[in-house]
């Protein structure tokens, strides 16, 4: 079942076309990623789905409804620009947001306390927002969109401001929500996060869709031309790489892509095995980041 469907959607601001004839659909109970660099049109697309903007042309349906205002009670929207009242207590703020979505006060309070406890933020309930760090404020903002138990979560750069530990906590929360049948729309420019979470993706650049489909199908369609090699560091300086594109390199690990026409992988493995102790070597398809760069630039190795 489709939770969200965009058909030939375009949106301009004066002379700038922010979203250019974009079409895609989101299936219920999945995590869908709208991905791309800064300024690609992700936030404008998300704001139209959330009902903040209307498209200039094309159609958006949410839960089958073209009038998004009618289904707002089913949507939880976390905008990129956070909006909390700095002098208001955390618990009062959460209750206020929940009541805006139609929850009675007692239910709003109970849900707020439940989520504060689940996310290890119970001690913050009587603190004012300005007393919290950026990461803590982000956590409160995230809780605010969950209180009315929405069926569709729209999250614009949700991990911004989080430290690595809280990033992992919230990844697990999103996966739990998916398991509970929620549909999640995630916008990010960090491809590694999307690769870990998303079932389906739509890659946008300069307002246009450059790639769309299930993440597994997209990756399966690519050649296995990426090598990840981990080794001890004793002989690292003696490894020579020619005719490759180095993606990441540390003292004891290298990740690179090779051109099959100018690179003999078997000879490479044999050569470095004589120089270093290989701990792991893996040949795989490129990551989502590299796939996106390929699609945007069309530069081949």
pLDDT of 296: 78
Q: Which pLDDT score, from 0 to 100, does residue 193 have?
A: 86
pLDDT band at 236 (very low <50, low <70, confident <90, very high): low
Q: Which of 36-40, 207-211, 252-256 has the highest mean pLDDT?
A: 207-211
| pTM for the structure as a whole | 0.85
pLDDT of residue 301: 39
What integer pLDDT is reported at residue 38 of this predicted model? 84
Strand partners, 76: 153
Burial of 221 (0-12, 13-18, 19+ CB in 10 A): exposed
> Average pLDDT over the chain, rounded to whole?
89
pLDDT at 272 over 70: yes
- State the average pLDDT over residues 244-252: 82
pLDDT band with cut points at 50, 70 and 90 for residue 300? very low
Confidence label for 222 from pLDDT (cuts 50, 70 and 90): confident
Between residues 262 and 124, which one has the greater pLDDT?
124
pLDDT score of 50: 95
Radius of gyration of the chain (CA): 23
Cβ-Cβ contacts under 8 Å for 178 (sequence gap 6 or more)? 29, 30, 31, 184
Give residue-wise pLDDT tens across range 82-122: 778 888 999 999 999 999 989 999 999 999 999 999 998 88
Q: Give mean pLDDT, residues 217-244.
A: 77
User: With bands split at pLDDT 50, 70 and 90, how would you rate the model's confidence at 237?
Assistant: low
Residue from 215, 258, 73 nearest 147 by CA: 73
95-103 long-range contacts, CB within 8 A, separation 24+: 97/144, 97/147, 98/144, 98/147, 98/148, 101/72, 101/73, 101/147, 101/148, 102/73, 102/148, 103/147, 103/148
16-27: strand order across its sheet: 16-27, 2-13, 57-62
pLDDT at position 251:
80
Q: What phi-psi label fits residue 51: left (phi over 0), alpha (psi between -120 and 50 degrees) or beta?
A: left
Mean pLDDT for 63-88 is 90
SS (H, E, C) the chain: CEEEEEEEEEEEECCEEEEEEEEEEEECCCEEEEECCCCCCHHHHHHHHHCCCCCCEEEEEECCECCHHHHHHHEEEECCCCCCCCCCEHHHHHHHHHHHCCCCHHHHHHHHHHHHHHCCCHHHCCCEHHHCCHHHHHHHHHHHCCCCCCCEEEEECCCCCCCHHHHHHHHHHHHHHHHCCCEEEEEECCHHHHHHHCCEEEEEECCEEEEEEEHHHHHHCCCCCEEEEEECCCCHHHCCCCCEEEEEECCCEEEEEECCCCCCHHHHHHHHHCCCCEEEEEEECCCHHHHHHHHHHCCCC
């Amino acid at each position: 079942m489709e939770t969200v469907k965009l058909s030939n959607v375009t949106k301009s601001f004066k002379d700038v076309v922010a979203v250019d004839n974009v079409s895609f659909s989101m299936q219920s109970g999945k995590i869908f990623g709208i991905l791309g660099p800064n300024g690609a049109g992700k936030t404008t697309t998300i704001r139209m789905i959330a009902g903040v903007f209307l498209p200039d042309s094309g159609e958006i349906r949410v839960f089958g409804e073209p009038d998004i205002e009618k289904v707002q009670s089913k949507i939880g929207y976390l905008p990129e620009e956070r909006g909390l009242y700095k002098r208001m207590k955390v618990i009062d703020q959460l209750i206020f947001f929940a009541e805006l979505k139609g929850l009675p006060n007692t239910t709003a309070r109970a849900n707020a306390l439940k989520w504060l406890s689940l996310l290890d933020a119970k001690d913050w309930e009587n603190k004012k927002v300005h007393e919290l760090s950026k990461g803590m404020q982000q956590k409160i903002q995230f809780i605010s969109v969950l209180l009315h138990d929405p069926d569709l979560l729209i999250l614009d750069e949700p991990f911004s401001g989080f430290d690595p530990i809280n990033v992992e906590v919230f990844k697990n929360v999103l996966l739990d929500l998916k398991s509970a049948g929620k549909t999640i729309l995630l916008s990010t420019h960090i491809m590694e996060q999307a690769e870990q979470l998303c079932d389906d993706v739509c890659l946008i650049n300069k307002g246009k869709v450059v790639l769309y489909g299930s993440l597994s199908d997209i990756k399966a369609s690519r050649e296995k031309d990426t090598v990840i090699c981990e080794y001890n560091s004793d002989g690292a300086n003696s490894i020579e790489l020619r005719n490759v594109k180095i993606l990441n390199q540390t003292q004891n690990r290298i990740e690179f892509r090779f051109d099959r026409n100018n690179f003999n992988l078997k000879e490479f493995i044999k050569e470095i095995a004589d120089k270093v102790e290989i701990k792991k070597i893996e040949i795989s398809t490129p990551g989502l980041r590299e796939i996106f760069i390929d699609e945007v630039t069309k530069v081949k190795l």
